[in-house]
Amino acid sequence: MVWTVLQTRGTDVLCAELPHEWLGASRWKFASGFTTNNGSMGLKEFIQANRGDELTIFPSYRVFCSCVQRSVRNWKRPTLKLLEHYYIQTRSTSHHLISMVLAGSKSTRVERFFTTTTDRVLGKLKEAALRELELLLQHEARPYTQDPRLYEELDRLRQRALHARLEAALPRGDKYGMVSLADVSKALEGVSMGPFAMPSDDREALEMEAALRAYLEVASHRFVDVVPMKLNGLLLDTFLREMESELLGAATDEKVAELLREDADKTARRLQLLNQVSTFEKGMMIIDMSEF
């Protein structure tokens, strides 16, 4: 029978089918030949399928790398979502600034030039940032760190699991706080011998899970710090420099004259109005002369 695990506490598990009772190591084992709803293997089965020729008495670095890669793949979607957010906000802010600065000019040609230049520069920088983030994800897929917090985190997880098992196993005592020495000895024996009552492949899966949690805790903090710094540099800082370069490069006499040149419709309308003014002036002169 396969049960759904809600929580783990060291080698003890709490299942949905028995939500009020923690099951010790002797009362459960990893399911074999079982896949989750999304078709992915459980950790124990994944280790068995990917160990290769490595000895079972040692934690498999190959399997560890594969598990890290599976986790890092889940980082891609929020990373690209953050990139899209940077792009949309920068583009929206730039367009709003352009419309505010040129609000009184009524020059659609100039506004169109600024917006198209903004979109072109931002699009190019977005592609460059995407390539950089893809490379960063590739690097993160290979486990590596010299951060001493990795060992501290692993020890913390193990100590927390041991503390939870002790807290659950030790007798509560009577109303005077007294406990039976035999009960304490029995509880300590159960806690200390619990992991050894498990099959070796189950113990290996638990050790692998603890190592993965410790490493991903450290690596995820590093990744969360690096990505915004990368985007700040690749999009925001570079965008300002690229826009300055583009606008200075376009500030030639010919380009400025082209941007400030009136539309053909406005030119024709001006000539029409000037002709009307000239006609009215001639008419006024004729009227003035006819009075004499």
Q: Does residue 183 or residue 256 have the better pLDDT?
A: 183
Same domain, 153 and 228: yes
Kindly state whether residues 256 and 277 are assigned to the same domain. Answer: no
The predicted pLDDT at position 151 comes to: 75
Both 225 and 97 in one domain: the answer is yes
Question: Rounded mean pLDDT of the chain?
Answer: 78
pLDDT in the model for residue 156: 80
Whether residues 153 and 285 share a domain: the answer is no
Range of the domain at 275: 265-291
**186 lies in some domain:** yes
User: What average pLDDT score do residues 276-290 get?
Assistant: 80
167 plus 205 within the same structural domain? yes
φ/ψ of 8, rounded to 5, equals: -125, 150
- Domain check: are 244 and 271 in the same one? no
Is 77 part of any domain? yes
| Closest to 113 (Cα-Cα) out of 269, 254, 258 | 258
pLDDT at 32: 46
10 pLDDT more than 60? no
Q: What's the confidence (pLDDT) of residue 33?
A: 43
- Give residue-wise pLDDT tens across range 219-235: 998 999 999 999 999 99
Residue 282 lies in a domain: yes
Confidence check: pLDDT of 35 > 50 = no
Domain total of the chain: 2
221 vs 203 pLDDT, higher one: 221
Q: What is the pLDDT of residues 40-88, one digit of tens each?
A: 457 777 766 666 666 665 667 778 888 888 889 999 999 999 999 999 9
Measure the CA–CA gap between 213 and 149, rounded to whole angstroms.
Answer: 12
Same-domain check for residues 269 and 189: no
Q: Are residues 64 and 132 in the same domain?
A: yes
Average pLDDT of the residues in 117-123? 93
In a domain, 217, yes or no: yes
The pLDDT confidence band at residue 16, using thresholds 50, 70 and 90, is confident
Q: Determine, yes or no, domain membership for 245.
A: yes
Statement to judge: residues 239 and 145 lie in one domain: yes
Say if residue 34's pLDDT is above 50.
no
Same domain, 269 and 165: no
pLDDT band at 38 (very low <50, low <70, confident <90, very high): very low
Tell whether 203 and 270 lie within a shared domain. no
Same domain, 234 and 275: no
Residue 107 has pLDDT above 70, yes or no: no
- The answer to whether residue 122 sits within a structural domain is yes
Q: Which residue has the higher pLDDT, 140 or 186?
A: 140
- The answer to the question of residue 44 being in a domain is no
pLDDT in tens, 128-185: 999 999 999 999 988 887 778 777 887 887 777 777 777 776 777 777 777 777 777 7
Residue 107 domain-assigned (yes or no): yes
Measured from the Cβ of residue 165, the count of other Cβ atoms closer than 10 Å reads 23
